[in-house]
Chains A and B, each alone.
Chain A
Amino acid sequence: MPAGIFFERYRRDMAFLKWPIHYVGLAIGMAALYLWPLAAGYDYLLRLAIWIAAWSMAAAGLNVLFGLTGQISLAQGAFMALGAFTSIWLATNGVPPLLAIPLAGLLVTAVGLLFGLPSLRLKELYLLISTLAAQFVIDWLLRTEGMAWFTGGAYAKLAPPLTIGPITVADTYGIYVVILTIVVLHLAALANIGRSYIGRALKAVRDRDIAAEIIGVNVFKYKLLAFMISAYMAAVGGALWAFAVRSVTVESFTFFTSLEVLAAVLIGGLGRVVWGSMLGTVFIIGVPEAIKMAFLWLGVRGIDIALRDAVFGALILAFLLYEPLGLTELLRKIKERIRLFPFRYY
């Protein structure tokens, strides 16, 4: 930060974009995100990017709940499934897809609120178990025969094509652009909530709930709010995935999805809602794919899937041992090293 330049208004001081380099960085970053497929637009890579985008929504939601508010949840997968099926159901009943996606999110928010209620009495691992119950109850409900009209039962539920007004977005790049836009808007909204008094109240609940209550934070209300935000984000992520692949089964989002999302948040960085969730999801989805490709290239066949899981598990372990604060912390350290170069300390 340049020395000697000070802002005269708090609004400027609280802004995310303070210096020209921030604007330049944002412009380059956004251009890169939107335009890279034009240079290397393999369908496979685009599908991977869409996958990462949808999953990073759920991860960002969990990051608000776990990283900011300190309440653990293992139900993100179930909320994603609910979001996906609800949005398909809304869209098949005449709601335009772009409206069905946030609407499904809002509907699932009510379910998130319901499963957030135990947080009034339960903490930490006990709360984790109660959210695990949410995951399995919802998963079981979706698999029951009575819900076949909603989930497609043993078959896949097909989503109508993604339309914006009269335009139908059919090619993968178009879908990618639409989904990326929605994800960017949501992540920006989360970042804004994080720096408002609501974000501070959530952090207070995480750091010390008793003290928070006594200085004027309605702890239960903010816990519920965090559950609602996380359920909303997961549901929108699931809905985006539904419209991207256009066929969803009850197997699309399982307990393992929840674990993946939790791992993404832990690896990316707890409490770093935007960067942590994004980098974590890139890692959790990109690295196994990269390992798979590497084995393919090396000509390892037959045991490549098992080997991939082993290598990936070892990577996660190494990560938690050497950089428990996640990828964002690693990046911060690198940035700090560059800033101080050639000195190591200041």
Chain B
Amino acid sequence: MPILRADSILLRFGGVTALDNVSMEVNKGEIVGLVGPNGAGKTSLLNVFSGFYRPERGRVFFEGRDITSAKPFQRAKMGIGRTFQKTSEVFKHMTVLDNVMLGAIARIREGPLDVIKSAVWWGPGVSKEEEVRGIAEEVIEFMELYEYRNRLVGSLPYGLQKKVDIARALAGSPKVLLLDEPMAGLTRDEREDVARYIMEMNRVLGISIVLVEHDLNLVMDLSERVVVLNYGRKIVEGAPETVMRHEEVVAAYMGTALAAER
């Protein structure tokens, strides 16, 4: 049974059709690659999943429930985690620890009296903070960020900021993690690191993953299934080997002349 499913999504911005009748599903415990040339609609589809865009037509289901009208923060609380393409989305004026602890907000229960509970800093308010800190420390250990715990995120190099982004999403204990180009702009070493984290999150923590990435070799290696988008349409879906040989995919990536040559 798919844990996350988009059903014939139509998304338009003025005259531009960003997603045209796209359906996609993510099964429990699998890594799905989502690839396509620039402007194909990969990030738009992720934004539909995480609720930032509302599709004109089509529905989104999570664990069998229709969540099309749920707000982004509600989806995060249900268990849809998300990382971002750009590091401008990490909170640069906060420390790594604060960022990760903030990520845990997706899994804690917020009560109306929490303002008072945390204001007195006694009893339940502190216990909750301790719990959050515990979660954050586990994630920091998992992502090997301990030495940067108290550094401001803005002062860290790009690769580490990307790692903080993943750690923040992980702290919310997501069931599905939407990774939007987690390796863009990283060095080879860092890429392999991130690839290892993705494998570990999937195999050890059992998180289903949607991976948007331009490094096709990596995507093919990691994912069990690949979905290819082009100009807002889904052209093919299937096992990595078969997808890569598909005529339309080659055409989309290398142009029609080259495709004819092959």
Contacts and interface: CB of A to CB of B under 8 A. Distances in A.
Given A192-B120, A214-B76, A216-B73, A197 B90 contact: no
B98 A215 contact: no
Interface residues of A, number: 34
Contact of A215 (B76, B94, B128): B76
A198 B137 CA distance: 19
Contacts of B56: none
Interface in B105-125: 105-106, 108, 110, 114-115, 118-121, 125
A210 B89 CA distance: 8
Interface stretch (A30-38, A45-53, A201-209, A291-299): A201-209
A216 B77 contact: yes
A196 interface: yes
B114 A198 contact: yes
Contact of B94 (A207, A219, A229): A207
A201 B104 CA distance: 11
Say what secondary structure dominates the interface of chain B. helix
A246 interface: no
Nearest to B88: A208
Interface in A53-86: none
B129 interface: yes
A204 B102 contact: yes
Interface string B230-241: 000000000000
Given A200-B105, A216-B76, A211 B121 contact: no
B3 to A, nearest CB: 18
A5 B28 CA distance: 44
Given A14-B129, A214-B76, A207 B92 contact: yes
A274 to B, nearest CB: 13
Given A207-B91, A210-B52, A196 B102 contact: no
Contact of A214 (B72, B119, B125, B134): B72
A217 interface: yes
Interface string A141-179: 000000000000000000000000000000000000000
B121 A215 contact: no
Interface residues of B, number: 45
Nearest to A186: B119
A193 B119 CA distance: 5
B169 A207 contact: no
B98 A203 contact: yes
Contacts of A19: none
B36 interface: no
A211 B134 contact: no
B94 A200 contact: yes
Interface in A1-33: 9-11, 13-14
Contacts, number: 114
Contacts of B104: 197
B66 interface: no
B128 to A, nearest CB: 7
B89 A10 contact: no
Nearest to A194: B118
A208 B118 contact: no
Contacts of A207: 91-94
Interface string A209-243: 01111111111000001000100000000000000
Contacts of A214: 50-52, 72-73, 76, 82
B82 A203 contact: no
B55 interface: no
B226 interface: no
A137 interface: no
A189 interface: yes
B237 to A, nearest CB: 26
B102 A197 contact: yes
Nearest to A199: B118
A218 B81 CA distance: 15
Interface string B246-261: 0000000000000000
Interface in A272-303: none
A217 B119 contact: no
Given A192-B119, A214-B82, 5 more contacts: A9-B130, A10-B129, A190-B119, A208-B89, A214-B73
17 contacts: A192-B121, A193-B115, A197-B102, A197-B128, A198-B114, A198-B118, A199-B118, A204-B102, A206-B93, A207-B91, A211-B89, A214-B82, A216-B103, A218-B71, A219-B73, A225-B115, A271-B93
